[in-house]
Amino acid sequence: MRPSWDEYYMEMAEVAKKRSTCLRRQVGAVIVKNQRILASGYNGAPSSILHCEEAGCLREKLQVPSGERHELCRGLHAEQNTIIQAALHGVGIKDSTIYVTHMPCIICTKMMINAGIKQLIYKGDYPDSLSQEMLKEAGIIVKKYSKDESS
């Protein structure tokens, strides 16, 4: 059976997350426009920097709860890496859709708003109510992915 577009792109985000080097949560993201994949990414340390699986997790060491103190991390989030990859390669993502395996944090949400992303489809939850408030205020269409409801 042929997958729906939402199912197809979310599966791609799930594949991207397999490259994650985060010890706490693996996340993948794919940016799509007009049924074309523009960029993909996963969470992990910047290029040429030791990954957490090698250097250890600073957040675990400091016992930082999930959803707090994002600056205390070696890694970039999947959404950040995906937006950066598009920018690095000169790919415009205005009016695009981002598929993410987890609801974005507030930092990623602000980047998505300023990058002109118009729709977010996410799978797993994340403890960040401010993110949800700002997505709504910015007019970004937000859908929680459900295989049964995918288009």
Query: Would you call 79 a catalytic residue per the annotation?
Result: yes
Residue 2 identity: R
Give which of 101, 99, 97 is closest to 126, Cα–Cα. Answer: 101
At what angle are helices 106-115 and 78-88 packed, to 10 degrees? 30
Residue 56: which residues within 8 A CB-CB, separation 6 or more?
A: none
Which residue among 53, 60, 79, 149 is the active-site one?
A: 79
The span from the CA of 58 to the CA of 130, in Å, is 24
Output the known binding site for Zn(2+).
77, 105, 108
CA distance 51 to 21: 6
Tokens of 112: 């998505």
- Measure the CA–CA gap between 70 and 86, rounded to whole angstroms: 22
Q: Which residues are the active-site residues?
A: 79
